[in-house]
Amino acid sequence: MIEAFRRLPGIGPKSAQRLAYHLVRMPETEAEELAEAITGVKQRIKLCQTCADITEQPTCHICQDLNRDRRTICVVEEPLDVTALERTRAYNGLYHVLHGAISPTSGISASDLKMKELLERLQDEDVGEVIVATNTNLDGEATAMYLQRAISPAGIKVTRLARGLPSGTDIEYADDATLAHSLESRSEIND
């Protein structure tokens, strides 16, 4: 059991031990409820057949929502990125979840991701813009480049989330790469 817990994200050997000992002392009914919750989730949760986000229906609630702008697709790495973007209430288009990023160093290529599904979607649906919202690290950059090269020849605009200084930053504490980029991408202030 300790080994099983250790494979979970954010749980080290000590936390795994604590969790295991806690379960040993737990009333049997509670432990069964937890086990059933885990099995139940695994059985109920599927990937949306359109955007590959996690859902309990064949199609997720965002893809089903007719009030959303169906001509814009935001491509993210993970389902939790959809949650983060939805929390801002600043986006009203659809999503596509890749379930990872292209990573030359870890040997993850486009064929390991939901990339084929995205390109098929772009052929079938009338999409005007693909917003790339991959992480701003090397793998996220590689994925953004791949998407741009695969999609823009079809005449679809490919954009990327702005990079620069985050809100509430002291210039003094900004990292060099971010500061250099924000200098390079500076823009005119208008009234």
Token pair of 55 as six digits: 């859902």
Token pair belonging to 35:
């086990």
The whole-angstrom separation of Cα 51 and Cα 75 is 9
CB of 39 to its own copies, least distance (A): 26
b/e map 119-143, b = 16+ CB within 10 Å: eebbeeeebeebbbbbeeeebbbbb
* Part of the chain binding its own copies (CB under 8 A), chosen from 28-36, 48-56, 109-117, 182-190: 182-190
Distance CA 41, CA 54 (A): 11
What x/- string results for residues 28 through 67 when contact with its own copies is judged by CB under 8 A? ----------------------------------------
How many residues bind its own copies, per CB under 8 A? 60
Least gap, CB of 114 to its own copies (angstroms): 16
Closest separation between CB of residue 71 and its own copies, Å?
Answer: 15
Pick from 48, 55, 77, 127 the residue near its own copies by CB under 8 A. 77
For its own copies, which residue of 26, 37, 84, 154 counts as binding (CB under 8 A)? Answer: 84
Residue 165 engages its own copies in binding (rule: CB under 8 A): yes
The radius of gyration of the chain from alpha carbons, rounded to an integer in Å, stands at 21
DSSP 8-state secondary structure symbol assigned to residue 166: P
Is residue 102 classed exposed, middle or buried when 0-12, 13-18 and 19+ CB atoms within 10 A define those classes?
A: buried
**Binding letters toward its own copies, positions 124-163, x by CB under 8 A:** -------xxxxxxx------xx--xx--x----xxxxxxx
Residue written as token pair 């971010």: 178
Which residues contribute to the site for its own copies (CB under 8 A)?
76-78, 80-81, 83-85, 87-91, 131-137, 144-145, 148-149, 152, 157-191
